[in-house]
Structure 1
Amino acid sequence: MKALYCQQNSPGEEMTFVFQERENLPPTRDHDVKVQVRACALSWIDTKLLSEIKLEKELLPVGREISGVVLEVGRKVTFFQPDDEVVGILPLDSEESGLCEVILVHEHYLVRKPEKVCWVEAAGAVRDGVRAYTALHYLSQVSPGKTVLVMDGASPFGTIAIQLAQHRGAKVISTAYSLEDKQYLERLRPPVEGIRQPLVARVIDVSNGKIDVAESCLEETGGLGVDIVLDAGVKLYSAEDESTSKSQLLPHKHDIITLLGVGGHWITTEKSLQLDPPDSHSLFLKGATVSFLNDEIWNLSNIQQGKYLYILLIPILEDIMEKLSSSIFRPQLDEPIPLYEAKVSMEIVQKNQARKRQVIQF
């Protein structure tokens, strides 16, 4: 039985992905669930973070968002039984690679998969769904009547965030990085039949570099500003060192502060965000807040670990599955990928070159 791992021999070296023959699985422990994997989503591996928290290894397991069928359960497992269909996220310190035919998972990382939801959609929506709930529910508390700006709305995360915000009654504005992205966002519609109103109230096409995002948002909100901003990265300085086309499309941090309304929330994915005193003063005058969206926020907090698993993670995963089942969530997925192409697909994901969520189907 083979599993996919990431190998990095020295810092700065390009990663290689290799299939390794696994030994037989250890005996199923009290709270373990043996799962036959049917689909596994691919996500970028943050080796720097793993190194900081002392989890870096010569071989890192690949694939943490999985869906599959229960084969066997430990004697103290109460939530599942053989033949149940499940979906879940493997923890950050998991020794298991989700890209393996059979794995062992603690029962607290799994929920039941609705019958109407296919394997690929279930695995492909998990991570982006948890991120969207973290950003819009726990960090900013989206509610009816609020205006939400989702940067790069055509990305897998942006798509789920737009759908969740609109479902909660918010007005959604989004940026598009290309004409294809703009057309995709304009075609998004609620799942209710007969409703032609798009999910996104205004799509701001920034691909030509001529559109001012702050000006467009203030115009759309009558000068009041946006209540919640989810960025996809920001420019920290006027002249960026990066010359990539994507970095040129990112808004400047001053633009985001300008378009924020009174009491607004800025949810950023920029780990190295630097705010100068004038920036802080502008936020102070608006009573606005800045929060950092870290995918692994609960995994990194031992104090919150139990709270995350029992109070947050399970209800979030169950709600994501319910919204998939009722077509409220329609994830941005690429065509299912066979296992033998997993290495090539993971290389694309690790280089941030995939515009749709990549899911391996067994």
Structure 2
Amino acid sequence: MKGLYWQQNSSGEEASFIFLEKDNFSVARDNYVKVQVKACALSRIDTKLLTDIKLKKEFLPVGREIAGVVLEVGHKVTSFQPHDEVVGILPLDSEESGLCEVVLVHEHYLTHKPEKISWLESAGTIRDGVRAYTALHYLSYVSPGKTVLIMDGATPFGTIAIQLAQHRGAKVISTVRTLEDKQYLERLTPSVGAKQTLAAHIIDESNGKYHLTESCLEETGGLGVDIILDAGVRLYNKENKEAVEESLPHKHDIIMLLSVGGHWITMEENLQLDPPDSRCLFLKGATVSFLNDEVWNLSNIQQGKYLCILEDIMEKLSSAVFRPLLDEPVPLYEAKVSMEMVQKNQARKKQVVQL
């Protein structure tokens, strides 16, 4: 059975994506479910994380967010029956590519897919939904009256995070990088109720004239932002060219924006705080948390919470609270090219392969 795999060349050359033929497996065993894949979303592979947890190997399966139909269940499976429609995220140590026609997956990584939701929408929402819940419900607590700053909101993840925060009653501020992104967020309105923009204030970075700190403090009456969800930060004043081009905020600006008791959720895995930064956080009673949505798969101690998150994401997708930012469906023969774009952070919309 053919699937897409990531190949790390031993010579140190750049990694490549290739289609490989794998042996077919037999019947589903114990708590495993055999799923016929209908759609598979593509996300960037964190090679450093895989190295840290000793999972890096020559051929790594590509495509973990899947949606499909249950073909067969193991004799210990209690949650699903044949012909059920399911969606889920394959574990980090999965040996199978989500771009195969059929995969075997443990029942605890799946949840039921609502009938009226398409395969593409469910597969394209599940991963960003988990990240948004992790950031706004477990690393912080979004609630009515709070102000949330979401950096680079016109992305697949930013879109879901904005919708979740607004649904919980928070006031949302978001930054955008281009005029097109700004126009997209201005069109993003609630599915029910008043047709107002989900983001109460949009900061346009495209003209280079904005000042993040002044804009946010003015919008909050000088009180600061309760929750900040960044998309990366600059650690020093003189950064590399890539960080400057992406208009990443400086870590000091983020700390200055925090309100008393505020929460900063960062995607910067190499964050370094100087003593003055720590002192400022101490005086504000603020916290810094690192967003790694893989923690649910790295430890099964909170498996029940994880399954509740998956179920709630699908419920909100069904009720149109979540509307994902999807690109046009990708045919299987173009999956390799699309995955190369995703790995290089060149895709601004979610890439979903239709099988």
User: Which TM-score band (shorter chain)?
Assistant: over 0.9
Q: CA RMSD for the aligned pairs? A: 1.1
Residue pairs, 1:30-49, within 5 angstroms: 30-49=30-49
CA contact (8 A) 2:27 2:72 kept: no
Taking the aligned partners of 1:135 and 1:80, their CA distance within structure 2 comes to 29
Shift of 1:11: 6.9
Taking the aligned partners of 2:140 and 2:48, their CA distance within structure 1 comes to 27
Match of 1:143 in 2: 143
Taking the aligned partners of 1:119 and 1:46, their CA distance within structure 2 comes to 25
Shift of 1:190: 0.4
Q: Which amino acid aligns with 1:84?
A: D
Match of 2:331 in 1: 338
Match of 1:85 in 2: 85
Residue pairs, 1:186-335, within 5 angstroms: 186-192=186-192, 195-243=194-242, 246-247=245-246, 249-301=247-299, 305-307=300-302, 309=303, 311-335=304-328
Shift of 1:22: 1.5
Taking the aligned partners of 1:12 and 1:260, their CA distance within structure 2 comes to 42
- Secondary structure at the residue paired with 2:233? coil
Shift of 1:18: 0.8
Residue pairs, 1:337-356, within 5 angstroms: 337-356=330-349
Give the alignment's TM-score, normalised by structure 2: 0.98
Shift of 1:10: 2.8
Shift of 1:347: 0.5
- Secondary structure at the residue paired with 1:355? coil
Shift of 1:245: 5.7
Q: Can you give the 5+ residue segments of structure 1 that lack an aligned partner in the other structure?
A: none
Pair 1:71–1:191, CA change in 2 (3 A) = same
The number of aligned residues is 355
Residue 359 in 1 paired to residue 352 in 2?
A: yes
- Secondary structure at the residue paired with 1:30? coil
Match of 1:56 in 2: 56
Q: Which amino acid aligns with 2:227?
A: I
Shift of 1:246: 3.9
Shift of 1:243: 3.9
Q: Can you give the 5+ residue segments of structure 2 that lack an aligned partner in the other structure?
A: none
- Secondary structure at the residue paired with 2:241? coil
Q: Which amino acid aligns with 2:352?
A: V
Instruction: Compare 290-299 and 146-155 and name the one that shifted more.
Output: 290-299
Shift of 1:295: 2.3
Percent of residue pairs bearing the same amino acid type: 74
Shift of 1:244: 5.8
Match of 2:177 in 1: 177
Instruction: Compare 179-188 and 8-17 and name the one that shifted more.
Output: 8-17
Pair 1:243–1:111, CA change in 2 (3 A) = closer
Q: Which amino acid aligns with 2:105?
A: V
Give the alignment's TM-score, normalised by structure 1: 0.96
Taking the aligned partners of 1:11 and 1:329, their CA distance within structure 2 comes to 44
Match of 1:2 in 2: 2
Q: Which amino acid aligns with 1:274?
A: Q
Q: Which amino acid aligns with 2:262?
A: G
Match of 1:72 in 2: 72
Taking the aligned partners of 1:242 and 1:8, their CA distance within structure 2 comes to 27
Taking the aligned partners of 2:264 and 2:207, their CA distance within structure 1 comes to 25
Pair 1:55–1:26, CA change in 2 (3 A) = farther
Q: Which amino acid aligns with 1:83?
A: H
Q: Which amino acid aligns with 1:16?
A: S
- Secondary structure at the residue paired with 1:137? helix
Could you give the per-residue CA deviations for residues 145-166 of structure 1, whole angstroms, max 9, x where no partner exists? 0000000000111000000000
CA contact (8 A) 2:7 2:60 kept: yes
Shift of 1:241: 1.7
Shift of 1:12: 4.6
Instruction: Compare 7-16 and 90-99 and name the one that shifted more.
Output: 7-16
- Secondary structure at the residue paired with 2:298? coil
Taking the aligned partners of 1:12 and 1:353, their CA distance within structure 2 comes to 23
Taking the aligned partners of 1:317 and 1:246, their CA distance within structure 2 comes to 35
Shift of 1:209: 2.1
Pair 1:178–1:245, CA change in 2 (3 A) = farther
Taking the aligned partners of 1:11 and 1:266, their CA distance within structure 2 comes to 40
Pair 1:327–1:244, CA change in 2 (3 A) = same
Taking the aligned partners of 1:130 and 1:23, their CA distance within structure 2 comes to 31
Match of 2:121 in 1: 121
